[in-house]
Amino acid sequence: MSGGRLAVLAGGISSRMKRSVVPQMMNDKTLISDADLKTKSMIGVGKNHRPFLDYLLYNARQAGYTDVLIVIGEKDDSIRNYYGKRDRDNEFYGLKISYAEQKIPPGRDKPLGTADALIQGLEFKTEWRGAHFTVCNSDNLYSAKALRLMLSHEHKNAMIDYDRDALQFDQSRIERFAVTSKDDEGFVTNIIEKPAVDQIEAAKGKNGYVGVSMNIFDLHYDMIYPFLQSVPLNPVRHEKELPEAIALMVKAHPKSLFAFPLSEHVPDLTVKSDILPVKKYLETHFANTTF
């Protein structure tokens, strides 16, 4: 198949969204119901209640992706019911959409994290072996420009290194985002989750640029796979995190992950207070878009 390969991680149970408080100005009962019952990416924030994920897939198509794998949760059928029920090759506006179901291990009430989601996806998409693929969250809206950068580079692996100052979130939220350490050539040496103040300061470039990860990477299947297998449980979250697997890969293979700097906002759906700002963003930026 021609075109790029994209893995979208949507297997989480959206617990923060479901337990968050409904903002006073949010009175759309359909949106509230979506937030309480569906996975975040299927909240109908778009025109005529189009789900958020539609807009990510639109940008992916514009960037040149055709083969899309969505890693879905085993307890939520909203994505499959909308995009097609077959396990493979559901047609959607020029995209072929397949699903891998992220199983919840016995004894747990939620999935094992993003590294676990990706490895379950790759074990389903074995035809991607020996090739590159892009992986991203389902609850962030990455631009076509960002997605195109991930599709067109010539490095072993790559990521978008977002300008911390361009993100339009509360400062307290931005301060929790993972920061990247790079060498003088722009290759990542570490990804630091929940960074301390001194770690943020140390991550500043010569021009004061602090790059943060919003979890969009282009990876080589064969290079990342063993680190998805070996990454340990995060001691705080008790999950296997994709950024930690990538950090292990970078330590084992120096200069294997190039960071593309990009200064733009990335809309995010984490809690109910994000819904109205995202809805306004879509009304502004996709007013004349035809799917």
pLDDT tens, position by position, 129-157: 999 999 999 999 999 999 999 999 999 99
Q: Are the beta carbons of 111 and 104 closer than 8 angstroms?
A: yes
Q: What's the pLDDT tens digit per position in 229-250? A: 999 998 888 899 999 999 999 9
Q: Is residue 87 part of a domain?
A: yes
Q: What is the mean pLDDT of residues 104-131?
A: 95
Task: Output the CA–CA distances (angstroms, integers) from residue 142 to 71, 136, 148, 240, 287, in the order listed.
Answer: 17, 8, 10, 23, 17
Residue 201 lies in a domain: yes
For the cut 70, the answer to whether the pLDDT of residue 179 exceeds it is yes
pLDDT of residue 76: 85
In a domain, 277, yes or no: yes
Average pLDDT of 180-205? 93
CA–CA separation, 39 vs 17, rounded Å?
9
Q: Print the domain residue range for 200.
A: 4-285
Assigned domain for 291 exists: no
CATH of the domain at 83: 3.90.550.10
Categorize the per-residue pLDDT at 2 as very low, low, confident or very high, splitting at 50, 70 and 90.
Answer: low
Q: Is the dihedral of CA 231, 234, 240, 245 positive or negative?
A: negative
Residue of 73, 51, 212, 221 whose CA lies nearest to 134: 221
Residue 234 within a domain:
yes
Domain count, the chain: 1
Q: Is 290 contained in some domain?
A: no
Task: Report the alpha-carbon distance of residue 291 to residue 58 in Å, rounded.
Answer: 7
Half-sphere exposure (CA, 13 Å, Cβ side) for 82?
19
- How far apart, in whole angstroms, are the C-alpha atoms of residue 59 and residue 140? 12
Structure tokens at 6: 């994209």
Q: Does residue 115 lie in a domain region?
A: yes
Q: Indicate the helix (H) or strand (E) that contains 161.
A: strand 158-163
Query: Residue 280 falls within a domain, yes or no?
Result: yes
Count CB neighbours of 5 within 10 A.
21
